[in-house]
Amino acid sequence: MNGSHGSTAPSGIDARFLTRNGHAARQLAALLVRQGADGVGGRLPRVRDFAERLGVGNGTVQAGLRLLEEAGAIKTVARGHLGTFLVAADRAALWRLSGLGTLLAAMPLPYSRRYEGLATGLRVAFEDAGAPFAMTFRRGAAARIAALVEGKVELAVLSRFAADRMVERQPVELIADLGPATYAGAHGVLLRPGATLGSPRLRVAVDDSSEDQRMLAERFFAHRTAVEWVPCSPVQLREVFAQGRADATVWNLDEVPGQLGAEVQVLPLGDELTRDLAVRHASAALIGRAQEEEEGAGALAAVRNVLDLSTVTAVQGEVLRGERVPAY
């Protein structure tokens, strides 16, 4: 902040933004954040429209806009009867002044390079958007959803398949679908040496923390009456097969360790419905709590407008090709 424009409060916040006019400026910052890049170059709403939306007087809105300009968060130009136009915006400054805070996302454990690329892509996209962003890693969609519903995080990353099911059951909503192959590359059927799909009884490895993996496995082996489910996490998969405790599974091939051995057979998914489920599992989805705030007031509403999904997928692709070191 420019020291010539007022003092700084003990908390580190410019004291001007603690006044009535400052409060209006912070509300205006939140509204402008929601516009994202589309707002730059466009005409601002009329002062009286801002005033009606915020429930304040015209003079308070004008003072709030001046504060944002003095802080370097925006630059406007008046064009007579055409109105006032937003010609530049510092998104990081707007986000900071808006009070929207840091967005914490619950991510899947980075078992695979694809997950590492996803985490890296999200970090870069949020940085480019000027939005403070941090991650916590939790195994299993249920754990990530619990953290979201309990208010421990603002965002959660799941497969699109899991997200659709959770939206039906929990007070959460879809923020963004990141597209094909952003969550998983492909799924396949794994068979240990000596086992066949025609065996009279199969022990099938299943990750109880992953609703997606369990659903795919149950759907694929549904026609078999003699199936024993063997609990298994991604890090245990190699050991479970090596010790002969499981005969088969349906698994995300990104998570299959290279040391599983060439003797383990990898077969394609054959059933059309199972393949459809696998496609939905392969797309990453970003979800948040269903918004209770007044429209436009929430950070998640801002995410929809400022997050560039193409940045996420481009960076993830660079990580997958070895062109970028994962950093998250």
298: tokens are: 């929430």
The predicted model gives 54-63 an average pLDDT of: 92
Helix (H) or strand (E) holding 317: helix 309-320
- Predicted TM-score (pTM) of this structure: 0.78
DSSP SS3 for 137: strand
128: tokens are: 């480019």
Percent residues over pLDDT 90 in the chain: 44
Quickly state the pLDDT bin for 167 (edges 50, 70, 90). very high
| Residue 11 pLDDT exceeds 80 | no
Distance CA 307, CA 301 (A): 11
Residues 6+ apart with CB under 8 A from 189: 197, 220, 248, 249, 250, 265, 266, 267, 268, 269
Q: Determine the length of the chain.
A: 328
Query: Token match 């759907």: residue?
Result: 219
41-50, 200-209, 293-302: the lowest-pLDDT one: 293-302
* CB 295 within 8 Å of CB 301: yes
| Full set of structural domains in the chain with CATH | 15-98 (1.10.10.10), 103-183+283-320 (3.40.190.10), 187-270 (3.40.190.10)
The predicted model gives 183-202 an average pLDDT of: 87
| Backbone angles phi and psi of 195, in degrees to 5 | -90, 150
301 vs 10, higher pLDDT: 301
Distance CA 99, CA 26 (A): 7
* CB 200 within 8 Å of CB 131: no
Distance CA 275, CA 277 (A): 5
| Residue 42 pLDDT exceeds 90 | no
**pLDDT tens sequence across 265-324:** 888 887 655 666 667 788 999 999 986 544 434 677 778 877 899 999 999 999 999 999
45: tokens are: 């709403």
